[in-house]
Every structure is written in structure tokens, then in C-alpha cells.
Amino acid sequence: MTDDHTFPTSLGTSDADTIMLMGHNVATDLMGKVGFGELAFWMVAQRRPTAGEVRLFEAVLVSLADHGFTPTAIAARMTYYSAPDSIQGAIAAGLLGGGSRFLGVTEDTGGFLHRVLADLSDDTTGWSEDRWDALALDVVTRTKAAGQFVPGIGHPVHKNGDPRVPVIFSIADEEAVLGPHLKLFAAIGRAHHQVLGRSLPLNGAGVAGAALADLGLPVTMLRGFSLLARTAGLVGQIAEEQRTPIAPAIYNAVDRNATFVAPEPAN
């Protein structure tokens, strides 16, 4: 009995002599000729990005790679301490912490902006800053009235401004890829205080989501790019843990200072 099933793919295939990726020979067409960031963009978007798009995309990846001893980094280091024979487990532990508070904001912001723009009937090409501000004010007002939060604003550390934000805007402008998602995000930064009663900085994860959405990448994949960037950071964290470990001190500090508290009686 023959099996005539086929499994279509636009990505990788191979035979005894060649490895093909997106219709190109990996050995002769891609290796040494295509950067890793460009390749990652190409594989997801199914189109080769321009040089300007690559510059913005890779700037976003760099901005998300590492941010110090975040929970994701600590989780990776602690897992490596527990299972040094399983580096993949340590990396996975760090990636599993990429959620609504860390890394997931990129996806949340890109999706939020994308939904707002998708609901517009007007072409935003040529909109003035005042018109963007009016849209942003309406969006923030409606979001607050619904009891929801606008993603991408505020930061627990960079309360006076996230240093990554102006760089992303500048690169996007220089490369002529500053689109409606970034313009709306900038307008939210200018207008939100009128509704919230306080000024919060735009954060790096949020501007990353806006930039990735402007590059035409699927908003459902934006967290994937955050995780791709953070993977590099986690590899660096584990390498440093091998050289100068801190996980034993974290473990001892928590374990030796654990205090028993009797549970309260159930009602």
C-alpha cells in the first residue's frame, strides 16, 4: 500500500544532497549572505525585508534581548543551578515566564494598536499630529471607560522615560518605515495624561510591538519575536551563571530565611 499524502510547506525541505529554505539553497544562497535577523523576518513574513526593515527589526530584537535580573533571567539561572545537565531546560524555563508582565507587552501593544487601526474607515496617510492626538484621546477614553488598561505605557524602572523608545522612533523615521502603529502609539504618549490624570512613559516593549506591527509582521506572532530576542539574553545569562553563579546565593537566601506561618482556620 502506497502513501500518497503530501505535506506542503513554504519553509525548509531537504534531500540527500541539498537543504532548501524558502526555495533557496541554504549552503550556496543563504549562508554567509543573509543575517539571522533578516532570515527570521523572512521566514515569518514570507518575503525578504528591505535593508531599512532589517535595521528596525534587529534594533527591536536588541532592545528586548536582556533587561537585567528579570524573573525570566532568574528562572533560567535557578533552573540551570538545579539541572546543570539540561541547558535547554534552563532556557525553556526563562521563556515560559514571557507573559503579560514581561515580554508579552510587545504582543499586547501591537495587537491593541492594530485593532484600533483596523476599525478605522479613513486612510491615515497624511494625517496631521493633531488628528492622531484626537484618535489617541478617544481610544484612551474608551479603554478606561471599559475598565481596561492601555498597554505599552508605564515602566517599573524607567519612570522618567524608557531610553529605548526614542531610538526605535528615530530608526523607523530614518528608514522611512514609521507607520500608523508607531504614529498612534506616539499620540497615545502625548494624550493619555488628559484621561488618566498622570503622565506615564511609553515603554520599550510597547514601542517594539508598534514597530513590528508597522513592519507588516503578523500581530499573532509578536510575542514569538520577543521570545526570539530573549533567547539570546537567556543564553548570555546562563553563560554568566557558569562563570559567576548567583543562583546558589538566591536559593540560600530564600531557603534560610523561610519562616513558618500557621495557616488561618478555614471559615
Q: What is the pLDDT of residues 179-218, one digit of tens each?
A: 999 999 999 999 999 999 999 999 999 999 999 999 999 9
User: Using the 8-state DSSP alphabet, how is residue 153 labeled?
Assistant: B
pLDDT value for 9: 93
pLDDT value for 67: 87
pLDDT value for 156: 79
Strand partners, 202: 153
pLDDT value for 242: 97
Rounded to an integer, what distance in angstroms lies between the CA atom of residue 221 and that of residue 218? 5
For residue 167, which of 91, 88, 60 has the smallest C-alpha distance? 60
The DSSP H or E segment spanning 12 is strand 12-14
- What stretch(es) of the chain map to CATH 1.10.230.10? 104-219
pLDDT value for 3: 66
Q: Which fold has domain 104-219?
A: Cytochrome p450-Terp; domain 2 (1.10.230)
- Cell numbers describing residue 41: 523576518
- Please state, in angstroms and as integers, the Cα–Cα distance from residue 122 to each residue in 117, 118, 137, 182, 217, following that order: 9, 10, 17, 17, 22
Rounded to an integer, what distance in angstroms lies between the CA atom of residue 190 and that of residue 135? 11
What residues of the chain score a pLDDT lower than 50?
1
pLDDT value for 203: 95
Q: Which alpha helices (DSSP H) does the chain contain, by range?
A: 36-45, 51-64, 71-82, 87-96, 104-118, 129-145, 164-174, 180-191, 193-196, 204-214, 222-243, 247-256
pTM: 0.91
pLDDT value for 25: 96
pLDDT value for 134: 97
For residues 112 and 152, the answer to whether their CB atoms sit within 8 Å is yes
pLDDT value for 2: 53
Sheet holding 24-25, edge to edge: 12-14, 19-21, 24-25
| Beta carbons within 8 Å of 162's beta carbon, 6+ residues apart | 155, 201, 202, 203, 204, 207
**3-state DSSP assignment of residue 103:** strand
The 10s digit of each residue's pLDDT in 235-264 is 999 999 999 999 999 999 999 999 999 998
- Cell numbers describing residue 193: 495624561
- Identify the burial level of 89 via C-beta atoms within 10 angstroms of its C-beta, where 0-12 means exposed, 13-18 middle and 19 or more buried: middle
Q: What is the dihedral of CA 75, 79, 82, 87, to 10 degrees?
A: -150
Rounded to an integer, what distance in angstroms lies between the CA atom of residue 49 and that of residue 175? 12
